[in-house]
Amino acid sequence: MIDSAILQNILSFGPVFLLIAIRALAMIQTAPLLSTEAVPQAARIALAGLAAFAVMPTAEIYFAANSPAGLVTLPGGTMSDLRYEPFGFRFLLLLIGEGIIGIIIGFYMTIVFSAFSTAGQFFSLQMGFGASETFDPLSQVENPLMGQYLNLVSMLIFVTIGGFHTLFLGGFWRSVQTINIVSLLEGTESVVTMMASGLSRLFMDAIIISLPILGTLFLTSLTTGLISKAAPQINILSEGFPVSISVAFILLFASLPFMTEVFVRVLDSGFGDIEKLYIQIGRQITGDVL
């Protein structure tokens, strides 16, 4: 039967399967959308097991650990020993390392994804929605209405452009083919640089996305302030909020097609940064692996 064949294949390479499954589960627990409470924990574990089984035949970095020498060539010509006793102390350290690799992949994409919610937070206060913070089930934080709206739009764009497909193929599968905990430790500087640049670019992308609306609302507030000085009899508090909200919605409606293009570029650049990290610290993928 097919089910017994699959189970036998998993049991034959149990330690390797467990190592890869831990990496997949750690990535799923921190990746955007998949880490929300809307996805049951049982579904995440099942998805991690399926992903681990699908990529296990290409996990040469750990199949090599079962070879007599147990040595793997890393970039720069160095040899690293990956021999371990199954379910021993060194195997436990490898499990922790696999979890760290998965967390780095998922958390970095979450940082990239947070730029859209942050952009909505920037101009929510200016348009009068600063006090309308509610719990956002997608980002799992208190988020203004505009932040939730842009977060929802970015979620739809992420699904439309095949974000999950790219996350599991370009992110998880390539990581299994190229890097392990040894190469991660040797490339710690590249990892720290990528994470730091991701945090700084989060605010840059958020400002770029929100700048047209934020700048226009600033000019609107400046204009209403000048009007209140020129005509003090006008109740600017009651008139200013409807004007700011109307202007913000008109600009949001007009700029949404352009904002979606920015969303796509931001997501693509995030996946591109992860692939660059694999190239810098990982092993070269040979033709036999593909």
Residue 195 has pLDDT above 80, yes or no: yes
Q: Which amino acid is at 172?
A: F
Mean pLDDT over 279-287 rounds to 68
Q: How far apart are CA 246 and CA 217, in angstroms?
A: 10
Tell whether pTM > 0.85: no
Mean pLDDT over 216-237 rounds to 72
- Least confident stretch, 60-69, 82-91, 245-254, 261-270: 60-69
Residue 216 has pLDDT above 50, yes or no: yes
For 190, residues 6+ apart whose C-beta sits below 8 A from its C-beta are 277, 280, 281
Q: Which amino acid is at 15?
A: P
Q: What is the pLDDT of residue 76?
A: 36
Give the end-to-end CA distance of the chain in Å, rounded to a whole number.
27
The whole-chain average pLDDT of the chain stands at 75
Q: How confident is the model at residue 227 (pLDDT cuts 50, 70, 90)?
A: confident
Mean pLDDT over 24-50 rounds to 86
Helix (H) or strand (E) holding 241: helix 236-281
Residue 96 has pLDDT above 80, yes or no: yes
Helix (H) or strand (E) holding 61: helix 60-63
Residue 28 has pLDDT above 60, yes or no: yes
- Least confident stretch, 69-78, 146-155, 275-284: 69-78
Q: How far apart are CA 33 and CA 138, in angstroms?
A: 6
